[in-house]
Structure 1
């Protein structure tokens, strides 16, 4: 009984990862109680919108081609975007004492977090949520400033209507903490440790986390070079879909995505 098997079956890995998800879901439930998530309702949406002109029609035409939203959905998303920017502006701190708040030209990180929490039920570890924010397009080099309308739509297209390939690439980018194209043992350790440390009663979970890292690495590291490339990750997820969010939730549930899209289209018709 003391010896370890030379290889782990997919079913054994699945059972172990289900154990990881129990830990993560327990942390998620606790976080939900802390943030007091409220359902999205028309009554609570701000009535004012951002002043200024809408993007040129060619922007909408381009987004119809490059995303999975139709024209009506894009119009509804633009209305939502303007309201979110208004909310960001209303909470922005003043640029200096006695001066008005600095203009927020897009969706800021705090507003983005609120949307992920309240609208898409993405109650996850702060490291994961930070990484989700970083991976969305902002600025010419990415990761800069507020989230503009086009980037907002492209990101939502992946989260809500993305193909398996797009969802896989999104999760990989979130887990690749230093954005070097590989998920290493150290990154896996940090991701799992951040999740497990939130559980009460765990004094020193490091040893257990290391065991989980080795377990998951055996399934993800297809070419056995000690780290996980996107190609490794893609092949592993194709064989075992549970591995897609092995290190924490970074996608809305299908239920939340469907509910949001239904609301989007309902509001569009009203």
Structure 2
């Protein structure tokens, strides 16, 4: 997989893996009639109860039935109503038994944990998923930028990009052909900054990131691939 391919993968992998996770745990299965009682998204036995259905419909681009289906799958796997980081890492490790998905899962978990409390609520999960699957190109790129911006200061540094790229190579490297060289992540980061750091100040801003991605046909194609998976 070449440099351009890894750049495309780095942005598109989030959606690919979440679709895989959803299907693995039956979250995308059709809703049966007896499940209609979940329409208000209430579950008295869980520790965290999500917001009302109407509010989540307003915050996402999912229909009522889609939200019901997503919630049933979520609560079946997470009866507490919350997903902690270790559970998140365990889910991802199942898809990459020959690689190490731990670090990438950590970065991805932080991108979904919007209130930084160490857990992902159903609301966090479904709002993020809505952006990835149904959002506009700009919304998806904003989400991807947030993933790369590890310390959430509004800039992507070379150190942050290298950490993300190393985590992706750790997770996928054994599946690539030819075998990935040890210096491949660093090479990718240099090419990334040559392309995106327009004013050469050593960091990439959200404006630089979005502008560059929007001019890349491969990245734009990846943004459209998973809009109809649910």
Q: TM-score, normalised by structure 1?
A: 0.58
- 1:17 aligned partner: 4
After superposition, the C-alpha distances for 1:157-189 in whole angstroms (9 at most, x for unaligned) are 112212111110111111112222111112222
- 2:121 aligned partner: 148
Structure 2 unpaired stretches of 5+:
18-22, 30-41
Query: Closer, same or farther in 2 for the Cα pair 1:72/1:243, shift >3 Å?
Result: closer
- 2:139 aligned partner: 166
After superposition, the C-alpha distances for 1:102-161 in whole angstroms (9 at most, x for unaligned) are xx4522334444666779xxx9843332111112245xxx12133222222212211221
**RMSD between aligned alpha carbons?**
4.2
Between 1:213-222 and 1:197-206, the stretch displaced more is 197-206
After superposition, the C-alpha distances for 1:38-75 in whole angstroms (9 at most, x for unaligned) are 95557xxxxxx96438968x721111112101112122
1:254 Cα offset (Å): 3.3
Q: How many residues align?
A: 199
Q: Is the 8 A contact 1:84 1:107 kept in 2?
A: no
Between 1:64-73 and 1:106-115, the stretch displaced more is 106-115
Structure 1 unpaired stretches of 5+:
1-14, 33-37, 43-48, 87-103, 245-250, 262-270
Query: Closer, same or farther in 2 for the Cα pair 1:165/1:111, shift >3 Å?
Result: same
- 2:190, 2:160 → 1: CA distance? 12
- 2:33 aligned partner: none
- 1:205 aligned partner: 182
Residue 229 of structure 1 pairs with residue 205 of structure 2: yes
- 2:38 aligned partner: none
Larger radius of gyration: 1
Structure 1 residues 78-227: aligned runs within 5 Å: 78-86=71-79, 104-113=80-89, 125-137=101-113, 142-196=115-169, 199=173, 205-206=182-183, 208-227=184-203
Query: Closer, same or farther in 2 for the Cα pair 1:111/1:204, shift >3 Å?
Result: closer
